[in-house]
């Protein structure tokens, strides 16, 4: 197959926290894949920066090992690995001190794209941003990339935005939400705005409800203390699920341009009604035969933090009036699966003897957009069951698993981090969150969490390997609906 990859401009990318878990498991393997694909130009350089006193050669050894651990399925040659490692440099630097900053200033090139990836805790963002400017390292158009969590609540997100804004303009700030880099998420926009088929039906008149599920089968594994201070609402809903909701519900932007898209997403967040407590179910996973419970994992027997949440939400605008959006996410569930389901209404009148709901056919179309596993989409349509026996209706999926439909093109598609890092170098902010979006999401989230705190109630419990607490099923049953299966 002819490669469609166009190399990006020459760049210097500094990874603060270049020795950390995220850099080793995600950022550098992603860059390596782009390198192997020919997207990194010869003049590109990557500079790791952290406090550890490593030589460049020790850093290359560390990253060489990390790449081999992370990329078992990669068929890149030893030659590629050696060539990639030769692009790496390392500078010992202390984000809070004076060490290393002049050395960094001395090697940065002013005439190439400069990007600074803050792969460190948010408490260091301000220190790094300040020093990049104070030491005249970052040029006017230098980009900074910041990781989640972007704040813990509205005041902390505002502080973080204000701190970064003192040193960098908004068009230079790239707030990563890796969900936005997923192929299917972008395909959601292509599906909606590149076709005539769906958009006329994409509203309360034709859509019965929408389900957004992000299910994980793992627990809080090793992150118990951090997670207990956060919970599913802060860790997943405020950012990832909110972004999926926005892309599903937003109005067509006037063009595929960063601000046009982000303006429309912001309007959705602002139109989200505050859910009533009865619209929310929170849960904590129980121990199983071989696994510990949430309370054991977070080492806090009194914890009231949720490892699962289901919500029934309403968007107060013309398009969605009367169409609920059901969101759920949790840990230690039956399977690892993320999808968006658009459940259309049943036809208003059936002309067939075998009416909707009989003969196996439901009569209501269902479009599901799978983020993982097996990225793809399927559309459930009702057809006549083949053979004799009259007009018996059955539902069949029109399935498009990208890997099957598009072959190599889909299986070789870059992963979310690869795409997003290349977007930073290209200067394209469409798939990154704007400061006002993040603040609006917290402004919606905070009062909900405050209500829980005031009520001081324990979340429901659920079995490890289940679909969450019973009460989440009831939330749907009350409305005469049901969640889609979490397929194993
Ligand atoms: P980590 O493994 O603890 O790494 C932290 C990095 O920061 C290390 O390289 C550390 O190196 C460096 N560092 C710490 N203090 C420093 C200082 N004063 N000056 C310069 N460097 C310093 O953390 P991580 O898991 O990579 O996470 C980094 C950030 O990404 C966090 O905000 C995290 O929440 C976020 N994140 C991580 C993941 C993930 O999968 N890991 C996913 C999403 C978001 P030295 O100790 O040598 O200085």
Give a yes or no: residue 426 inside a domain: no
Nearest atom of ligand 1 to the alpha carbon of 118: 29
Give the residue, 402 or 237, on which the prediction is more confident.
237
Compute the distance from residue 426 Cα to the ligand 1 centre, in Å: 25
Interval 415-453: pLDDT, tens:
899 999 999 999 999 999 999 999 999 999 999 999 999
Ligand 1 close to Cβ of residue 93 (< 6 A) = yes
Ligand 1 close to Cβ of residue 17 (< 6 A) = yes
Count of structural domains within the chain: 2
pLDDT at site 1: 47
Instruction: Name the pLDDT band for 395 (thresholds 50, 70, 90).
Output: confident
pLDDT at site 183: 85
Distance between alpha carbon 75 and the CA centroid of its chain, in Å?
27
Say whether both 112 and 185 belong to one domain: no
Say whether both 267 and 391 belong to one domain: yes
Ligand 1 close to Cβ of residue 19 (< 6 A) = yes
Distance between alpha carbon 123 and the CA centroid of its chain, in Å?
22
Q: Report how far residue 201's alpha carbon sits from residue 70's, in angstroms, rounded to the nearest whole number.
A: 43
Say whether both 141 and 214 belong to one domain: no
Number of H helices, E strands in the chain: 18, 15
Q: Report how far residue 373's alpha carbon sits from residue 459's, in angstroms, rounded to the nearest whole number.
A: 29
**Does residue 357 carry a pLDDT above 70?**
no
**Does residue 488 carry a pLDDT above 80?**
no
Say whether both 204 and 82 belong to one domain: no
Give a yes or no: residue 450 inside a domain: no
CB-based contacts of 205, cutoff 8 Å, min separation 6:
none
Say whether both 205 and 131 belong to one domain: no
Ligand 1 close to Cβ of residue 97 (< 6 A) = no
CATH number at residue 97: 3.40.50.720
Interval 288-329: pLDDT, tens:
999 999 999 999 999 999 999 999 999 999 999 999 999 999
User: Whose CA is closest to atom 37 on ligand 1?
Assistant: 22
Say whether both 347 and 241 belong to one domain: yes
Give a yes or no: residue 152 inside a domain: no
- List, in sequence order, every residue forming a beta bridge with 344; answer none if it has no partner: 207
Residue with tokens 């790239």: 174
pTM of structure: 0.93
Compute the distance from residue 21 Cα to the ligand 1 centre, in Å: 7
Give a yes or no: residue 427 inside a domain: no
Q: Calculate mean pLDDT across residues 33-54.
A: 95
Give the residue, 356 or 110, on which the prediction is more confident.
110
For ligand 1, pick from 17, 18, 144, 415 the residue to mutate: most ligand atoms within 8 Å of CB: 17
The token pair that represents 26 in the structure block: 């995600």
Compute the distance from residue 124 Cα to the ligand 1 centre, in Å: 10
Say whether both 235 and 128 belong to one domain: no
Interval 241-284: pLDDT, tens:
999 999 999 999 999 999 999 999 999 999 999 999 999 999 99
Query: Domain limits at 91?
Result: 11-147
Last-in-domain residue among 98, 128, 147? 147
Say whether both 113 and 232 belong to one domain: no
pLDDT at site 221: 84
CATH number at residue 217: 3.30.360.10
Q: Calculate mean pLDDT across residues 157-162.
A: 97
User: What is the percentage of the chain residues whose pLDDT exceeds 90?
Assistant: 79
Buried b (16+ CB within 10 A) or exposed e, 343-367: bbbbeeebebebebeebebbbbbbb
Q: What is the 3-state secondary structure (H, E, C) of 14-48?
A: EEECCCCHHHHHHHHHHHHHHHHCCCCCCCCEEEE
Last-in-domain residue among 125, 147, 169? 147
Q: Does residue 329 contact residue 211 with C-beta atoms inside 8 Å?
A: no
Give a yes or no: residue 275 inside a domain: yes
Give a yes or no: residue 31 inside a domain: yes
Give a yes or no: residue 391 inside a domain: yes
Helix 242-249, helix 183-193: angle, nearest 10: 20
Say whether both 141 and 222 belong to one domain: no
Nearest atom of ligand 1 to the alpha carbon of 50: 21
Ligand 1 close to Cβ of residue 96 (< 6 A) = yes
Say whether both 189 and 95 belong to one domain: no
Q: Calculate mean pLDDT across residues 170-184.
A: 93
The token pair that represents 317 in the structure block: 């605008």
Compute the distance from residue 18 Cα to the ligand 1 centre, in Å: 8
Phi, psi angle pair for 355, to nearest 5°: -70, 165
Instruction: Name the pLDDT band for 351 (thresholds 50, 70, 90).
Output: confident
Say whether both 238 and 339 belong to one domain: yes
Nearest atom of ligand 1 to the alpha carbon of 51: 48
Say whether both 334 and 465 belong to one domain: yes
Give a yes or no: residue 83 inside a domain: yes
The distance between the two most distant Cα atoms of the chain, rounded to a whole number of Å, is 82
* Catalytic machinery residues: 240
Q: What DSSP state is assigned to residue 250?
A: P
């Amino acid at each position: 197959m002819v490669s469609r990859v166009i190399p990006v401009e020459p760049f210097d990318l500094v990874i603060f926290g270049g020795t950390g878990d995220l850099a080793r498991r995600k950022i550098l393997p992603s860059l390596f894949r782009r390198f192997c694909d020919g997207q990194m130009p010869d003049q590109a350089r990557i500079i790791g920066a952290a406090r550890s006193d490593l030589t460049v050669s020790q850093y290359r050894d560390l990253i060489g090992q990390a790449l081999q651990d992370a990329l078992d399925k990669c068929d890149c040659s030893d030659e590629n690995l050696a060539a990639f490692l030769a692009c790496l440099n390392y500078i010992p630097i202390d984000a809070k001190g004076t060490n290393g900053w002049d050395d960094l200033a001395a090697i940065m090139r002013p005439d190439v794209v400069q990007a600074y990836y803050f792969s460190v805790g948010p408490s260091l963002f301000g220190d790094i941003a300040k020093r990049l400017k104070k030491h005249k390292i970052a040029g006017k158009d230098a980009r900074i990339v910041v990781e989640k969590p972007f704040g813990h609540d509205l005041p902390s997100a505002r502080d973080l935005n204000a701190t970064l804004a003192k040193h960098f303009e908004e068009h230079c700030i790239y707030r990563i939400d890796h969900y936005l880099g997923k192929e299917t998420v972008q395909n959601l926009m292509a599906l909606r705005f590149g076709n005539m088929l769906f958009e006329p039906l994409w509203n309360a008149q034709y859509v019965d409800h929408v389900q957004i599920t992000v299910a994980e089968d793992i627990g809080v594994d090793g992150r118990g203390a951090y997670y207990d201070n956060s919970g599913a609402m802060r860790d997943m809903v405020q950012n990832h699920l909110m972004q999926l909701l926005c892309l599903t519900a937003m109005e067509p932007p006037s063009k595929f341009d960063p601000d046009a898209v982000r303006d429309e997403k912001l309007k959705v967040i602002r139109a989200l009604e505050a859910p009533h407590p009865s619209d929310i179910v929170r849960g904590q996973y129980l121990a199983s035969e071989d696994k510990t419970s949430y309370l054991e994992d977070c080492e806090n027997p009194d914890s009231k933090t949720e490892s699962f949440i289901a919500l029934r939400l309403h968007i107060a605008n013309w398009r969605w009036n009367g169409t609920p959006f059901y969101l759920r996410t949790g840990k230690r569930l039956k399977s690892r699966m993320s999808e968006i389901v658009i459940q259309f209404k049943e036809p208003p009148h059936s002309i067939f003897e075998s009416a909707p709901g009989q003969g196996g056919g439901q009569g209501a179309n269902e479009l599901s957009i799978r983020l993982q596993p097996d990225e793809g989409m399927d559309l459930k349509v009702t057809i006549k069951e083949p053979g004799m026996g009259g007009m018996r209706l059955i539902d069949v999926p029109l399935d498009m698993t990208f890997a099957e439909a598009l072959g190599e093109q889909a299986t070789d598609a870059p992963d979310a981090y690869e795409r997003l890092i290349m977007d930073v170098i290209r200067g394209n902010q469409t798939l990154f969150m704007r400061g006002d979006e993040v603040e609006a999401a917290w402004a919606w989230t905070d009062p909900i969490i405050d209500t829980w705190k005031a009520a001081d109630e324990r979340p429901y419990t659920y079995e490890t390997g289940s679909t969450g607490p019973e009460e989440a099923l009831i939330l749907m049953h009350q409305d005469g609906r049901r969640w889609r299966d979490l397929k194993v």
